[in-house]
């Protein structure tokens, strides 16, 4: 019977690729389910044989520990990106959200004045 090993909700694509490669490299028999079209199901990496779960979990735990240390080291070296870094890198992502926040704040500040009028 299949067993879920690694849910893919909010997992960066590079991490998912590394986990896929890790499982393949160690000969783990796995398959992947993709996210549903409406975002209800996240998808995941599944083991075909539940008996292999303990070994696959050990491999995954070791990988995640090494990745955690690597990412923390990168953040120490380069620092965490700030607002301006994100704005320059992904303006199409930042600007609509920023404008929506400003509109909400403006509406909240104007609402009492509009209601008392």
pLDDT tens-digit readout, 29-59: 999 999 888 878 889 999 999 899 999 999 9
User: 36: Cβ–Cβ under 8 A, 6 or more apart, which residues?
Assistant: 43
Q: What is the mean pLDDT of residues 97-116?
A: 92
Q: Are 38 and 76 in contact (CB under 8 A)?
A: no
pLDDT of res. 47: 95
Answer whether residue 65 shows pLDDT above 80: yes
Long-range contacts of 95-98 (CB under 8 A, 24+ apart): none
Chain-wide mean pLDDT for the chain? 92
User: Is the pTM above the cut of 0.85?
Assistant: no
Which secondary-structure segment (H or E) carries 53?
A: helix 53-78
Answer whether residue 99 shows pLDDT above 80: yes
């Amino acid at each position: 019977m299949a067993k879920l090993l690694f849910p893919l909700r909010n997992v960066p694509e590079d991490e998912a690729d590394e986990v896929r490669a890790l499982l393949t490299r160690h000969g783990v028999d796995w398959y992947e389910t993709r996210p549903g079209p409406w975002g209800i199901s996240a998808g995941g990496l599944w083991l075909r044989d539940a008996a292999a779960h303990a070994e696959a979990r050990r491999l995954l735990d070791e990988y995640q520990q090494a990745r955690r240390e690597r990412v923390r080291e990168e953040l120490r070296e380069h620092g965490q990106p700030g607002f301006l870094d994100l704005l320059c890198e992904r303006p199409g992502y930042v600007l609509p959200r920023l404008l929506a926040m400003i509109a909400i704040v403006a509406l909240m500040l104007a609402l009492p004045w509009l209601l008392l009028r």
